Amino acid sequence: MTTVENRTPAELAEAERYTAHNYHPLPVVITEGEGAWVTDVDGRRYLDFLAGYSALNFGHRHPGLIAAAHAQLDRITLTSRAFVHDQFAEFCRSLAELCGKELVLPMNTGAEAVETAIKVARKWGYQVKGVPDGQAEIIVAADNFHGRTTTIVSFSTDPDAKADFGPYTPGFTIVPYGDEAALREAVTPNTVAVLMEPIQGEAGVLVPPAGYFAAVRALCDEHNVLLVADEIQSGLGRTGRTFAIEHEGVVPDMYVLGKALGGGIVPVSAVAANRDVLGVLKPGEHGSTFGGNPLACAVGGEVVRLLATGEFQRRSAELGEHLHARLNALIGHGVIAVRGRGLWAGVDIDPTLLTGRQACERLAERGVLAKDTHGSTIRLAPPLVVTAEEIDHAVDQLAALLRGDRGEAQ
Ligand SMILES: Cc1ncc(COP(=O)(O)O)c(C=O)c1O
């Protein structure tokens, strides 16, 4: 394709000059997006197979979400929770219903929702379970990713996320993901919660062994422990169901939600649980200036309406089969393994060929945006509005670069 300008190098250099280097972005400077596509400042188009780490499940600028945001921008955007506004009750009711829970507590970022879940679980432990003061323990999985706060990185096993950010918050026990026996060993009378991702996203889209979460649920019931599912990346349609843990036939005590709940427009997160759990919080004990603001509730409410139709979960299930069939056919042709569910895949590239980073750079040159996780693994998570043809196009580009074909797609 003809590029009319070459603004990219200057934009990249300017961004480098003025920002902390806490990210290592691909050399693409995006200016517009629609559906599954984005356009860069030089007019190149890319299929977005990262979708904001699942924050863009409904694609860029979904018309219904944009309309809800516009309508709310013209009315009122922020009140603080010191007052109630007219978008609040409807958002909370509909989200609670979607989750099958009695109450929700809205926050903004995913990490804040995880922090909320930790605080609620601890308070529940002291007030309901009767754990001695200051002794609450939460069991988490190795290779987890739950966010970036000092408490959350305290139980990370990723040195990049954790090193030099101590002193660390105590009260967390780490067990191998998917290992039922190790979990059983780790439970003590002071255990208040098991906090896990139903599928570990950042770890490389790791799906636990069949039956694992059913065993976790049974263990939690046996020991009066809360099961907290971090569905921030895995939830809201990504895996072909509303929640990834549904594939395991399991209902957690608390859902932790974020990313797609904000429709790719505003940060919206929440925890959802029944009254016997979330009811432990009293006025003044937890909150957020922006949590549950009118704009967030208007957009989040529209997200819940979209999910309530089931259309996106269906698309993800059906197109996910197509994506996985196409990717599985690459095993032995530069791909070692493929994992995931629905429109979510972790793809292990043969490390003798390319690192994940190199694969993503070459994919970007071919007009497909994706993100590496660790080593030679890349993660594909297109918006749920993607079409079968767009999936074919993206997988064709991956296949071509693994074959070592030269040239760009456009
Ligand atoms: C499973 C999971 N939990 C929590 C988070 C943190 O969300 P945020 O970046 O919005 O704080 C993420 C982000 O990638 C995530 O994938």
CA quadruple 21, 23, 29, 30: dihedral positive or negative?
negative
Whether omega for the bond prior to residue 167 falls within 30 degrees of 0, making it cis, is yes
First vs last C-alpha separation in the chain: 5
d(CA 135, CA 171): 7
- Please state the rounded mean pLDDT for residues 155-175: 98
Average pLDDT score over residue span 224-236: 99
- Establish how many alpha carbons lie within 13 A of residue 210's alpha carbon, considering only the half-sphere containing its beta carbon: 0
User: Are 238 and 72 contacting, i.e. CB atoms less than 8 angstroms apart?
Assistant: no
Model confidence at 406, pLDDT cuts 50, 70, 90, reads confident
pLDDT of residue 4: 58
- pLDDT per position as a tens digit, 45-78: 999 999 999 999 999 999 999 999 999 999 999 9
CA distances from 317 to 78, 245, 247, 384 (A): 37, 14, 11, 10
Sheet of 371-372: strand order equals: 335-340, 345-349, 377-380, 371-372
Q: Is 58 a catalytic residue?
A: no
Query: Which tens digits make up the pLDDT trace of 306-359?
Result: 999 999 999 999 999 999 999 999 999 999 999 999 999 999 999 999 999 999
- Is the pTM higher than 0.95? The answer reads yes
Mean pLDDT of the chain: 97
Name the token pair of 162.
């954790």
Task: Clarify whether 129 is annotated catalytic.
Answer: no
Largest Cα–Cα separation, the chain: 68
360, with CB counted inside 10 A (0-12, 13-18, 19+), is buried
Residue 405 has pLDDT above 50, yes or no: yes
pLDDT value of residue 297: 98
pLDDT digits (tens, 9 = 90+) for 262-278: 999 999 999 999 999 99
Instruction: Give yes or no for residue 146 CB within 6 A of ligand 1.
Output: yes
253 is catalytic: no
What would the mean pLDDT of 81-109 be, rounded to a whole number?
A: 98
- Residue 410: per-residue pLDDT: 47
- Ligand 1 pocket mutation, candidates 50, 144, 145, criterion most atoms within 8 A of CB: 145
Candidates 146, 152, 238, 373: which one to mutate for ligand 1, based on the most atoms within 8 Å of Cβ? 146
